[in-house]
Amino acid sequence: MYTIPFGLGTPVQMFNVVIDTGSPITWLSSSSCVDDACMSATQFHCDASTTLNNTFNASYVSGQGVSGHYVAETYTIGSLQFRGATGIVTQNNAQLPAKVDGIMGLWYYAPGSAVPILNVLRNNTILPSNMIGVWLQSTTPHGQTNDTPADAYTAGGEVTFGGVDTTKFRGSINYVDCAGKRPWSIPVGGMTVGGTKINANGALAAIDTGTTAMLVPRVIADSINGAIPGSIRATQGGLWYMPCRGDTEITMTFGSTTVKIPYIHLALQSARSKTLQGDYCLSAVMFPTGQTAIIQEWLIGDVFLKNVYTVFDFGTNAATGGRIGFAQLGSSGSNGGMASRRASISFVQLAIVGFVCVIYSIL
């Protein structure tokens, strides 16, 4: 998971939250919540906050969820400060990693809403440009075959509110318009695995910073994993395993941008098993089963996003749902200077925390 420091209230209370373009609600645990998940996180003391009448229920596809009420409070994100609505959780059975206190929901609703952060920023003309740029640090840099993932809580990239960081990419940003009423969802242009074309059948993909892996329908998961030499399907569930090392080339295309996913990223090095045939790793291409809902569309998470610079633009095509841009990573992707207009744009360093797949549906 990729997290940022987030402040709420006056005086400010600081938290560590997941940046999640796959969720609309920003939430933290209340100091009055006694559930185990609340007690293991930093809790928000809302005695001085303005409580709103609205309540909320956020349900994970995994069957976990949170519920509570909204408060109106001052947000602090990097150099930004503005007023917004935050979900304060009073019942919590969502299992987040240790030291992760909540979720920063970065959906964009085209018609407008008082809850998602990006709608608040757009409606109040706070940013110089209505966009955020996301660069996710890879735990295994390009060109390396290091089997040991980075330590948890290390620096993990950067999110830019109000523009892009030009030091993190090269060339132009190629944009694809989002589908209406499908937050941050764009058509899948194509995919190849070892030269084999995967039939996307006109699928839409939600580009989701809060999902670690790639969640797709069963037939797609079987097609992708089945094209990887040596891959094995688990006897139960929608999981596949693949040799931890390999050279199969995997590409994904959105619009005019084709991105190569290194094999070592698709073979999740943090989930390894030793077999008589050698080390096998969990495949990042999954079809959720069990308590989870059936996945109809693709959810493309960090296994893809850490190989490209991504822009979530909610100022262009805004009436329909915005657009998503992709650009090739630059050579200074790990140690670059900041873009121009630094005083107007908020740069926030990300941290990498644990390994979790999170998918949301809102009741």
Catalytic residues: 20, 208
Cα–Cα distance measured from residue 281 to residue 145, given in angstroms and rounded to the nearest whole number:
14
- Cβ proximity of 216 and 287 under 8 Å: yes
Taking CA atoms, 291 is separated from 35, 237, 296, 351, in Å, by: 21, 11, 15, 30
Cα–Cα distance measured from residue 99 to residue 322, given in angstroms and rounded to the nearest whole number:
32
Please say whether the dihedral angle defined by the alpha carbons of residues 183, 22, 352 and 142, taken in this order, is positive or negative. negative
Nearest to 356, CA basis, from 7, 37, 35: 37
Nearest to 321, CA basis, from 121, 119, 126, 162: 119
Residue 229: asked if its preceding bond is cis (omega within 30°), the reply is: no
**DSSP state letters, 31-68:** TT--SHHHHTSPPB--TTSEEEEEEEEEEETTS-EEEE
75: β partners: 8, 82
How many Cβ atoms sit within 10 Å of the Cβ of residue 122?
Answer: 19
Taking CA atoms, 283 is separated from 129, 232, 303, in Å, by: 37, 10, 10
Nearest to 302, CA basis, from 134, 70, 50: 134
Nearest to 214, CA basis, from 280, 286, 311, 293: 286
What is the SS3 assignment for 2?
A: strand
Phi and psi, residue 348, nearest 5° = -125, 125
- Cβ proximity of 203 and 219 under 8 Å: no
